[in-house]
Chains A and B, each alone.
Chain A
Amino acid sequence: MNQWIIETEHLDYGFRKDEKILDDINLRVPQGSVYGFLGPNGAGKTTTLRLLLGLLRSENPNIRLLGRQMPGSRIDILRRTGSLIEQPSLYLHLTGLENLEVFRRAYECPASRVGEVLRITRLSDAAHKRTRAYSLGMKQRLGIAIALLHDPEVLIMDEPTNGLDPNGIIEIRELIRDLNRQEGKTVLVSSHLLTEVEKLATHVGIIHKGKLLFQGTLAELQNFQYRRALLEIEVDNVTRAEQILSGRFSVSVNGGSTIHVGHTKPDEAALINHMLVGGGVGVSRLSATGNDLEKLFLDIISA
């Protein structure tokens, strides 16, 4: 039995021949995780998710969901997977309830589920309104309600908070978190915003120009960050400071009185300061640069 709920092996894809929109993507989404699939616009997130759901045809894509091959076991997989791809896809001339009724028939679930998912997404009061009159946040929630109809084990959501106001974003985030923690659903959610992923995900995959540049837990991403983090230090003697530190750290002189020192752990900043002061170098400023995730994200995708 495989621990990965969603797994791709050397996944390549191009809309035309000799075009590589996706290049060797090896996705590993563990059971029970909220996997944040992060990447700037045009990175290939939607294309990947469409492949996972069988919305794009590919000869031998080596995609497994819930241990089954896509597209070979397409219907079995989709029976256990809920999805929300890009903007809401709702019948705007129908009410929320009618939209759910349409998909309830496709998922063959009992009529009682409709009321339940309306309650989960807090849309019971709006059930009889046409979805044309819904706010974007309500449309997105109804989209999630549709994805939840058949009580799937896996949820695949493509930028579910895109275009929402701050309140709407918080609502969707809390909904996803509850679904994961209380109902044990594995969630694969894409976003182009690191802050979103940081607040929600347990695991992160960073995709850029069709390549998966990082994959691991959120903690691993944060560790990764320190390895590449720099201290910017203002000293009165640059040459002496470089002599003292260069044995243990990577040091580069950056202008007349500042040096950049690479380090891996946050508590090393104290050690560096101690070494400098002990060696008779006056330290007038010591600050971290590039140790926030946002910068790291930019570093990763511009590497």
Chain B
Amino acid sequence: MNTKFFANTTAEFIKTKRSFALWLTILAALFIPAINVVILLERPEMLLAKFEQTPWLTFFRFNWKNVAAVILPMYIILITNLIVQIEFRNNTWKQVYASPRSFADIFFSKLVVIQVLVPFYMLCFDGFVVLAGLLVHSVNPAYRLTASSIDWNSLLMISGRVYLGCLAVSVIQYWLSLRFRNFVIPLGLGLGLWITGIVLMDWDKIIYYPYVYSTFMFFIDFDKEPQQLVVIVTSSIAALVLSVSIAYYDMKHRPERG
């Protein structure tokens, strides 16, 4: 079973060859750091003061705030859609389901692809952010973003927390993409669910709403509210387990395949 699952997962990666997946990942990762290089270099008089204390941490948060709240949810909605649409567009679901693979194998091998691409996106983004910081520093050394002072710990902490926060959403979006042949539906639902989260941010039950977890993971100051970290980590994990179970159960019991 395990070697077979591994083989089929590599097959899932072959399917993404020459698709837009890699480009989407790199472009989405490059977008914010590129803009921020321009902003920092154009507006030093406004920004330099903020960078005095902890230049790298400030720069990380400067970049991550957009990603945690906006770009990452967008990326997840698009990439799950793109990966699953490869099968719909080519009419290949029937061939996949007519091959001797268990439903679990089919469901999880593709989920693995998504769960590799999302961290890969974050890795690329973090890489671009560091490069952007070094570039800014080389043009304007007043920012003090030196190679020797890179705050790797903070970067890793932010990335890890936000990733944990977005896991459930990536599974929910995967499920929606599997459910609907028409890609507009999971796209529209994803955007709707995400915007709803932003609108309802102050609602007292919002902690049950997975689409805000990655935003919370970034914006809540856990040094001041450490108990909140426990709540959000627990919620993220619970939502992940729940969404995987529901999505898998539902897909296994669909009346039609392919």
Contacts and interface: CB of A to CB of B under 8 A. Distances in A.
A105 interface: yes
Contact of B98 (A55, A87, A98): A55
Interface string B96-107: 111111100000
A102 interface: yes
**Which of B94, B98, B102 counts the most chain A CB atoms within 10 A?**
B98
Given A98-B14, A106-B11, A85 B4 contact: no
A87 B15 CA distance: 19
A89 B254 contact: no
Interface residues of B, number: 31
A146 B93 CA distance: 14
A59 to B, nearest CB: 10
Interface string A63-91: 00000000000111011010101111111
Contacts of B86: 91, 93
Given A55-B258, A93-B18, A106 B90 contact: no
A55 B8 contact: no
A214 interface: no
Given A75-B101, A105-B10, A106-B101, A91 B90 contact: yes
Interface in B227-242: none
A56 B10 CA distance: 27
Contacts of B8: 105-106
A91 B96 CA distance: 11
Contacts of A102: 11, 14-15
B254 to A, nearest CB: 7
Contacts of B138: none
Contacts of A88: 91
Interface in B160-199: none
A125 interface: no
B99 A106 contact: yes
A37 to B, nearest CB: 17
A108 interface: yes
B100 A89 contact: no
A107 interface: yes
A238 B234 CA distance: 95
A101 interface: yes
Contacts of B102: 75
A102 B86 CA distance: 13
B257 interface: yes
Contacts of A94: 14-15, 17-18
B19 interface: yes
Q: Which size bracket describes the interface of A in this complex?
A: 20 to 34
Nearest to A108: B4
Contact of B14 (A50, A101, A150): A101
B92 interface: yes
B153 interface: no
Given A55-B256, A105-B10, A92 B90 contact: yes
B255 interface: yes
A88 to B, nearest CB: 8
Q: Which of B15, B94, B101 has the most CB of A within 10 A?
A: B94
Interface in B90-140: 90-102
Given A90-B90, A98-B17, A54 B100 contact: no
B7 interface: yes
A98 B13 CA distance: 11
8 contacts: A75-B100, A78-B98, A83-B95, A91-B15, A98-B14, A105-B7, A107-B99, A107-B100
Interface of B: 4, 7-8, 10-11, 14-15, 17-19, 86, 89-102, 253-258
Interface of A: 15, 50, 53-57, 74-76, 78-79, 81, 83, 85-94, 98, 101-103, 105-108, 146, 150
